[in-house]
Structure 1
Amino acid sequence: MTASTHQIHQLLQQRILILDGAMGTMIQSYKLEEADYRGERFVDHPCDVKGNNDLLSLTQPKIISDIHRAYFEAGADIVETNTFNGTSIA
């Protein structure tokens, strides 16, 4: 068991841990456009990327960081990665 896993197990013996909320809804609140999703890195990508929220980890890391920070400030103990579509079948 890793040190992190051990720490989580210890905390779970003491209290319920709070997980973050919906990443997609928080991203939608930013009203991002195609250019925002592309950033400089994917400016010449041949397909539309708007709505590919996972891509924002690369093109808009501050937005993703700000969302995670907001969940921590709201009392979350754990935030999940921004990888909703990050699977081979998505």
Structure 2
Amino acid sequence: MSNILQSSLQERVLLLDGATGTMQQRLNLSEDDFRGKEFNDHSIDLQGNGDILSLTQPAIVRQIHNAYLQAGADIIETNTFTANRISQGD
């Protein structure tokens, strides 16, 4: 654990960010938004695959992270809830 994290934990409770997927859903993104240019010709529907937004819409992911930081979160997690072979195979 880093010294900054350890010293901060000695001083106070740290706040973790919230549900990234819920924030993504609130944006009502289209299939084209999820695909971006990178997956324009992909054969499988990608709408709802929040992890793919890290590649196709990094500005949206950054916007969500920034919203949590502005709300007072001390720690933000990666946008990788289902970024694994099994989940992506579904």
TM-score (ref. length: structure 1): 0.92
Deviations 1:59-88 (A, max 9, x none): 111110000000000000000000000123
TM normalised by structure 2 equals 0.92
Letter in 1 for 2:61: I
Matched, 1:78 2:69: no
Alignment of 1:6 with 2:3, yes or no, is yes
**Unaligned 5+ residue runs, structure 2?**
none
Q: How many residues align?
A: 87
What does residue 22 of structure 1 align with? 19
2:66 to 62, 69, 90: 69
| CA–CA separation in structure 2 for the residues paired with 1:84 and 1:12 | 25
What is the root-mean-square deviation of aligned Cα atoms in Å?
A: 1.0
Once residues 43 and 28 of structure 1 are traced to their aligned partners in structure 2, the CA distance between those partners, rounded to angstroms, is 21
Instruction: Provide, for residues 23-82 of structure 1, a one-character-per-residue CA deviation record: whole Å limited to 9, x for no partner.
Output: 011000110011100001100001111111000011111110000000000000000000
Misfit runs of 4+, over 6 Å: none
Unaligned runs of 5+ in 1: none
Tell me the distance in 2 between the aligned counterparts of 1:69 and 1:80. 12
